[in-house]
A and B are shown apart, each in its own frame.
Chain A
Amino acid sequence: MMGAAAILFVSSPLVAQKKVERKIPLGMEGAVRIVNMVGSIVVHGWNKDTLMVRGTLGAGDQFFMGGGYTGAKMFVESANDRDPKPARLEVWVPARARVWVKTATASIDVSDVTGGLDLYTVSGPIDVTGNPHELNAEAIDGDIHITGSPPWVRAKSASGTIVFQGASSDAAFSTVSGAVKVDGGVFERTKIETVTGNINFSGQLDRSGAFDFDTHSGSIDIAIPEKTPASFSVVTIAGGITNNLSKTGPIPGRFGRGAELTTDVSGGGAKVSVRAFKGQVTIRRTK
């Protein structure tokens, strides 16, 4: 990923609570890799071809940073892996950079990056503001909060919640038990799936878009503005369907359990497919 010309690894001497400040040139679309297991990572996009980092390390930590004009990486190494101390890193990257961040429990905060983002955490929260061209955020336990309009976005968490406020042309959100809440603008392709987490979607559907909502037992609530052309296909094996969008009533499912609903709204358009094993599905107008 980094065609670096010169690699410098500069290690800081051991001082308790030491401060870090570094600056190296980095191409406007360079790649940046940041690893810090505990504490916080804040990333800002800016208009310079420079990578800058300021931070505070925990006692005994060492900070390494190196790279060339096409790519750079930095990481914090703990004195004791079993008991890592929090380190705070604040990083400025060229806005169009491709940024890759990995942590275990540190919070990740990114703003004003328009390039690509790949953010991985186990249990820290991920917060993204702005419009990265591509955003991939993964957590096991952590919550993911996105405010902005990445054209392409993937967010996954097992037990954390995913909150998305913005618009996207290709979005996919997946959790096991975490709730997924989408509230925003126009969507083209959207896929939201949970196992037991509740799904709340309120947004505008592009009339040529495709939308998939899948859950095992979470509830699904879909709210769209008036006059949105959409074609709904809803199936639940053992749950119920409430249709506040049109006069079509759900029909009972196989063996008299569950329900199915096929209905066009405003002449039909965006294809919406909802599948719930036993969750409750509601489709309605935004208030």
Chain B
Amino acid sequence: MKTSAVASDTIGPLPSTIGEEKAVALDSIRRAQSGDVDAFDLLYREHSGRIYALCLRLKAGDTSDATELMQDVFVRAWRRLSTFRGDCAFASWLHRLAVNTMLENARTDNRRNARVLPMDDTSRLAGAARSSGVELKMDMENAIATLPKGARLAFVLHDVEGYQHQEIAERLGVSVGTVKAQLHRARRLLRERLER
């Protein structure tokens, strides 16, 4: 950017001149923090695929549940943008927010359903539950969708998304031992179902 008006050697770097992804991302974040919805749109475009993939797997392939969750996540992200301080990658921050949102929503749903439905951990049959639309690639996605909830969460968070046992335990509010047990169970069930 050429400036003819004011000579100064302290002009900040500009996305168009740097060409660095990171600078653009920080710029968008800053602008979104100031209330610029268009900047938030850029962030959405950049990160929604990742987040939607996570939501879809957490919600056993149900596209309408997954979409609803993802929308919740981004609206929350918008509201809490000011708490993002750049001390970790924005993608990680968003990711954690997604997991937390899912868990919080689940807790609310549980409380609401507690008296209405018995709490059970039955798996959702992939074909029956899924809304039309997204073609989940490969048997693997279907198989994950058939896992019981606890096993599915542990598997998606650990083996797909790369969280550590300890983190998963903290977020789910269970012991590391439980997470490991769920993981073993998930892997065993998947092997059985994929070998068929």
Q: Does A184 contact B (CB under 8 A)?
A: yes
Q: Does A66 contact B (CB under 8 A)?
A: no
Neighbouring A residues of B85 by C-beta, 8 Å: 3, 70
A188 touches B3 (CB 8 A): no
User: Which of A95, A154, A166 is within 8 Å of B5, CB to CB?
Assistant: A166
A151 touches B14 (CB 8 A): yes
B6 touches A148 (CB 8 A): yes
Given known pairs A134-B34, A152-B31, the reply for A167 and B5 (CB within 8 Å) is: yes
Shortest 5 CB-CB distances between A and B: which pairs? A133-B12, A185-B4, A184-B5, A185-B5, A167-B3
Q: Does A204 contact B (CB under 8 A)?
A: yes
Q: Does B112 contact A (CB under 8 A)?
A: no
Given known pairs A149-B8, A169-B16, the reply for A136 and B34 (CB within 8 Å) is: yes
Alpha-carbon distance A132/B6, docked complex (angstroms): 13
Using CB atoms and an 8 Å cutoff, list the residues of chain A in contact with chain B: 1, 3, 70, 95, 112, 114, 116, 118, 130-134, 136, 147-149, 151-152, 154, 165-167, 169, 184-186, 188, 204
Closest to B27 in A: A152
Alpha-carbon distance A183/B91, docked complex (angstroms): 40
Extra contacts, 4 of them, besides A147-B6, A148-B5 (Cβ < 8 A), are A1-B82, A148-B6, A152-B31, A185-B2
Q: Does B1 contact A (CB under 8 A)?
A: yes
- Chain B interface SS verdict (over half): loop
B1 touches A151 (CB 8 A): yes
Using CB atoms and an 8 Å cutoff, list the residues of chain B in contact with chain A: 1-6, 8, 10-12, 14, 16, 27, 30-31, 34, 82, 85
User: Which of A95, A132, A136, A185 is within 8 Å of B3, CB to CB?
Assistant: A185
A149 touches B5 (CB 8 A): yes
CB distance from A4 to the nearest CB of B (A): 12
Closest to B31 in A: A152
Alpha-carbon distance A97/B17, docked complex (angstroms): 22
Given known pairs A1-B82, A134-B31, the reply for A167 and B1 (CB within 8 Å) is: yes
Neighbouring A residues of B1 by C-beta, 8 Å: 149, 151, 167, 169, 186, 188
A166 touches B6 (CB 8 A): yes
Alpha-carbon distance A114/B2, docked complex (angstroms): 17
Neighbouring B residues of A131 by C-beta, 8 Å: 6, 8, 10-12
CB distance from A114 to the nearest CB of B (A): 5
**13 pairs, CB–CB < 8 Å, chain A vs chain B:** A114-B10, A131-B6, A136-B34, A148-B6, A149-B3, A149-B5, A151-B14, A165-B6, A166-B5, A167-B2, A186-B1, A186-B4, A204-B4
